[in-house]
């Protein structure tokens, strides 16, 4: 079979997959419309799709709402930036030494297994209700998966490549740049993806617990004041944002996977 | 025949004994090995599985320090890998999967400090020598095992070291591929005048390529005998069907036979 034919076939299959996915989403929307239109559920629990769309178009024209979006966005970027830089630096250093790896890997893995939201009150004491608290929390939570991925990626560079490099040069920096880093990248990338999800969730959660602004705050506030349609509208914005970033992230593919 | 006093030693070991500790047991893999390898000769280490031939090669390569005894490169004791002097071809593929064949070659040259402007041309020259230049833009995952070992050989040759060590470089390949590679290697090595030490399991490969074959005993490995092959390089495939080839092969096999049985027992 020619490669062109295989390509066409896999393209046709992926169109089919997309079609089924779209159909599934439409089915859910139809179900949503049906249960609200025929009054099976309380409007307080699940407002009708039409009312949510109406609230959404209302929100999107308000500068207040865009300020909330801006606060959430900049908080996520700052938290994620801190998490990635600290995680890559510390993780790659720890991964270079078997001793450091054996000591710290279980500690970091253990810390990541704890629902860190339990320390949020302490972070509020420390950083106040402003954006700093959620940035700090998102950074701490997002740091762990990056550090874990980086240390394991560097610790697991196959010995054969280290040996081969040793027969070629004594310049350790060159070995790091040309061998260790490229070898670590696939595992590191998966850590970066997990970290992004965790940071995003942490920032939104922080906003829902205590904040003056941000999408999480908009959601929790409208839940409190019994405006479910507006709450769902804000949720839609978060979902749209998550979907957008997720599709961008899935394009990050290491070069070696092309083969 | 007396040793020519002007012949310099490329590599040597004296009274080398190597012992490994594993699970509280100590295992002696090499015992009292003394061997001088002359500049420009092709030397083959042959012996039953587990006789320590790869261990000996790893000591020459600087990956292991001798237990007792001494290992030297020229007049210097070997204390670690020697990038300027010794190139190593490993048994398994060590090509970087994230880089194309040509990028792999260029990385090796970059490690040796070859200026960027000269890397591509030099890499292509050596790839052409081993006949894989048309795969320069492929990733290692896209070419066969034989091609990968050819690239590894090209990379090792491109370092232009006086010494080349090869640890069963063709072990993972089928018989036909090994024969063709063996012929190509014999031709290449004649041109390069390198000192070469290689480990193999194959009698044919040993007799076809080596100037001297060192047969090791079953564990702990001692030198059982050394057999010279006085056929000039480059050797043609006809050599393999000649009477002298068969005679040498028979001699080597008679040294090896008892040791293989011992190793099996």
The pLDDT tens digits for B209-255 are 899 999 999 888 899 999 999 988 888 888 889 999 999 999 999 99
* A14 and A53 within one domain: no
The answer to whether the CB atoms of A170 and B140 lie below 8 A apart is no
What is the C-alpha to C-alpha distance for residues B89 and A233, in angstroms, rounded to an integer? Answer: 63
Q: Shortest CB distance from A169 goes to which of B61, B83, B139?
A: B83
What is the C-alpha to C-alpha distance for residues A243 and A197, in angstroms, rounded to an integer? Answer: 11
Can you read off the two tokens belonging to residue B2? 């007396």
- A185 Cβ contact list (under 8 Å, min separation 6): A153, A254, B98
* A149 and A29 within one domain: no
What is the C-alpha to C-alpha distance for residues B88 and B152, in angstroms, rounded to an integer? Answer: 9
What is the C-alpha to C-alpha distance for residues B88 and A215, in angstroms, rounded to an integer? Answer: 59
SS3 state of residue B200: strand
* A176 and A107 within one domain: yes
Q: Is A163 on the interface with B (CB under 8 A)?
A: yes
Q: What percent of chain A has pLDDT over 70?
A: 95
Question: What are the tens digits of pLDDT across the range A127-167?
Answer: 988 899 999 999 999 999 999 999 999 999 999 999 999 99
* A31 and A117 within one domain: no
Given a cut of 70, is residue B61 above it in pLDDT?
yes
Question: What are the tens digits of pLDDT across the range A43-59?
Answer: 888 899 999 999 999 99
| CATH code for the domain of A63 | 1.10.3720.10
Q: Which ipTM score applies to this complex?
A: 0.88
What is the C-alpha to C-alpha distance for residues B77 and B62, in angstroms, rounded to an integer? Answer: 10
So what's the pLDDT on residue A256? 46
Check: CB of residue A99 under 8 Å from CB of residue A172: no
Check: CB of residue A138 under 8 Å from CB of residue A207: no
SS3 state of residue B139: coil
* A211 and A83 within one domain: yes
Of B4-13, B43-52, B54-63, the least confident: B4-13
What is the C-alpha to C-alpha distance for residues B206 and A67, in angstroms, rounded to an integer? Answer: 77
So what's the pLDDT on residue A254? 54
* A142 and A25 within one domain: no
**Among B108, B161, B102, which residue's Cα sits nearest to residue A168?**
B108
Q: How far is CA B31 from CA A123, B11, B50, B53, B89, in A?
A: 65, 18, 13, 12, 25
Residue A83 has, within 13 A of its CA and on its CB side, a CA count of: 34
* A137 and A21 within one domain: no
* A19 and A144 within one domain: no
* A52 and A6 within one domain: no
The answer to whether the CB atoms of A182 and B99 lie below 8 A apart is yes
So what's the pLDDT on residue B7? 62
The answer to whether the CB atoms of A178 and B88 lie below 8 A apart is no
* A58 and A37 within one domain: no
**Mean pLDDT score of chain B, rounded to an integer?**
89
What is the C-alpha to C-alpha distance for residues B178 and B202, in angstroms, rounded to an integer? Answer: 10
Domain hosting A104: range is: 46-258
Question: What are the tens digits of pLDDT across the range A206-248?
Answer: 999 988 899 999 999 999 999 999 999 999 999 999 999 888 8
Query: What residue has token string 């010995």?
Result: A159
Check: CB of residue B34 under 8 Å from CB of residue B15: yes
So what's the pLDDT on residue A3? 58
Given a cut of 80, is residue B264 above it in pLDDT?
no
So what's the pLDDT on residue B110? 96
Enter the pTM of the model. Answer: 0.79
Given a cut of 80, is residue A1 above it in pLDDT?
no
So what's the pLDDT on residue B25? 85
The answer to whether the CB atoms of B112 and A168 lie below 8 A apart is yes
Position A257 confidence tier, pLDDT thresholds 50, 70, 90: very low
* A27 and A133 within one domain: no
- For residues B44-52, give the mean pLDDT: 88
Q: How many helices (H) and strands (E) does chain B have?
A: 7, 10
Given a cut of 80, is residue B143 above it in pLDDT?
yes
Residues of B within 8 A of A179 (CB-CB) are 96
In the sheet with B195-200, reading across from the earlier edge strand, the strands are: B86-89, B163-167, B195-200, B42-46, B212-216, B223-228
* A101 and A33 within one domain: no
Residues of B within 8 A of A259 (CB-CB) are 97, 139-142
Given a cut of 70, is residue A253 above it in pLDDT?
no
Question: What are the tens digits of pLDDT across the range A2-39?
Answer: 556 666 777 777 888 899 999 999 999 999 999 998 88
Number of domains in chain A: 2
So what's the pLDDT on residue A2? 52
- For residues B105-132, give the mean pLDDT: 94
């Amino acid at each position: 079979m020619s490669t062109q034919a295989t390509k066409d076939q896999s393209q046709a299959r992926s169109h089919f997959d997309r079609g089924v996915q779209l159909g599934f989403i439409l089915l859910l929307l139809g179900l949503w419309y049906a249960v609200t239109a025929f009054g099976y559920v309380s409007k307080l629990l699940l407002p009708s799709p039409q009312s949510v769309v109406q609230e959404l178009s209302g929100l999107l024209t308000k500068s207040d709402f865009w300020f909330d979006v801006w606060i959430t966005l900049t908080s996520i970027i700052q938290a994620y930036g801190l998490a990635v830089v600290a995680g890559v630096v510390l993780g790659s250093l720890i991964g270079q030494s078997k001793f450091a790896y054996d000591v710290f890997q279980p500690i970091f893995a253990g810390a990541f297994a704890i629902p860190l939201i339990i320390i949020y009150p302490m972070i509020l004491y420390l950083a106040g209700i402003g954006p700093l608290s959620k940035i700090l929390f998102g950074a701490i939570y997002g740091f762990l998966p990056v550090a874990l991925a980086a240390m394991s990626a560097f610790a697991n560079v196959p010995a054969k490549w280290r040996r081969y490099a040793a027969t070629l040069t004594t310049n350790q920096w060159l070995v790091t740049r040309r061998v260790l880093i490229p070898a670590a990248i696939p595992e590191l990338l998966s850590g970066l993806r997990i970290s992004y999800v965790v940071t995003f969730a942490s920032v939104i959660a922080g906003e829902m617990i205590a904040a003056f602004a941000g999408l999480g705050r908009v959601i929790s506030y409208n839940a409190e004041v019994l405006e479910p349609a507006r709450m769902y509208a804000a949720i839609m914005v978060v979902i749209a944002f998550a979907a957008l970033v997720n599709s961008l992230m899935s394009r990050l593919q290491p070069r070696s996977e092309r083969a | 025949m007396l040793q020519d006093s002007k012949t310099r030693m490329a590599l040597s070991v004296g009274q080398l004994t190597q012992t490994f500790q594993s699970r509280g047991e100590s295992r002696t893999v090499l015992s009292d090995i003394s061997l001088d390898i002359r500049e420009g000769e092709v030397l083959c280490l042959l012996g039953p599985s587990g006789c320590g031939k790869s261990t000996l090669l790893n000591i020459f390569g600087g990956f292991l320090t001798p237990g007792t005894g001494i290992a030297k490169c020229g007049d210097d004791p070997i204390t670690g890998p020697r990038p300027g002097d010794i190139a190593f071809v490993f048994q398994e593929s060590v090509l970087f999967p994230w880089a194309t064949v040509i990028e792999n070659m260029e990385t090796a040259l970059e490690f040796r400090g070859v200026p960027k402007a000269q890397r591509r041309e030099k890499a292509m020259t050596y790839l052409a020598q081993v006949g894989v230049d048309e795969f320069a833009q492929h990733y290692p995952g896209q070419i066969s095992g034989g091609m990968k070992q050819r690239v590894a050989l090209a990379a090792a040759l491109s370092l232009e070291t006086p010494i080349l060590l090869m640890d069963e470089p063709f072990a993972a390949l089928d018989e036909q591929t090994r024969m063709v590679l063996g012929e190509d290697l014999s031709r290449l090595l004649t041109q390069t005048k390198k000192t070469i030490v290689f480990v193999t399991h194959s009698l044919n490969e040993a007799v076809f390529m080596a100037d001297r074959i060192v047969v090791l005993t079953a564990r702990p490995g001692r030198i059982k005998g050394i057999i010279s092959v006085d056929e000039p390089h480059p050797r043609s495939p006809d050599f393999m069907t000649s009477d002298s080839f068969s005679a040498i092969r028979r001699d080597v096999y008679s040294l090896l036979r008892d040791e293989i049985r011992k190793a099996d027992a």
